[in-house]
Structure 1
Amino acid sequence: MKHVKGATHWVIPDGYIPPVSSGELLSHESICVLNCNTEDANLMVTVYFEDRPPLENISVVVKGKRTNHIRTSSLQKDSEYIPVGVPYALEVESDIAVIVQYSRLDATQPELALMSTIAYPL
């Protein structure tokens, strides 16, 4: 029996890109995806907001036996991006099982903070 590594549906409920950074490092958040399969993983990302419609069906590919660190600030649907200073949440769906981690670098002050956690699999 083949062991499945990961899941096909993930949720990250807490997202926020700070509008300012201090020092040389830029505050950012990333969806870190590991694809242990030989075939490519085709992801669809949805970004949810508190006060506006979601950005839906943002396509991302993670090559087979590779990882992809996707900066949330790079996610785009048509000409719409995730604005800085606005809370958001993410839903990641994949056509094959992958592992999703979420990382945040907060450089809003000189004593920066790095947070990383596994996303919630559904």
Structure 2
Amino acid sequence: MGLIRSAFPSKRFRPSNPTNPLTSTIAAKYQRNLSKHPFLLFGLPFLTIMIGASFLLTPTTALRYERHDRKVRQMSKDEELGLGQGKRRVSGQEMMKEEYYRLAAKDLDDWENRRVERLPGEHDGRL
């Protein structure tokens, strides 16, 4: 039997001598130490960022919802002043039936499809 040679050489691409400038970078040192202490160098910073971000985002989210509530309250005050008088209010069972029959009486079969006027220079979509 002969000696079987490996398809890949066993030599390392980058030798691990301390004089090599590629092994003395911060990233290389971090990579070496990560295999020895994975939780300390990866897990702990990850958990710290996740928990810290949740504490930092809580006030931001609360501020967002408070602004939304202010807008809703402002609209309610505008409606109180009478700006929304053009809308019909429907309440009660009899009123619901009346509204249903009013909408059902509309002729939905007789309508005409009209194109919207385009702005000058805008493509109208016709072939």
Give the TM bin, normalised by the shorter chain: under 0.3
The TM-score with structure 1 as length reference comes to 0.16
- Which of the two has greater helix per residue? 2
Higher relative contact order (CA 8 A, sep 6+): 1
Looking at CA atoms only, which structure, 1 or 2, has the larger radius of gyration?
A: 2
The TM-score with structure 2 as length reference comes to 0.16
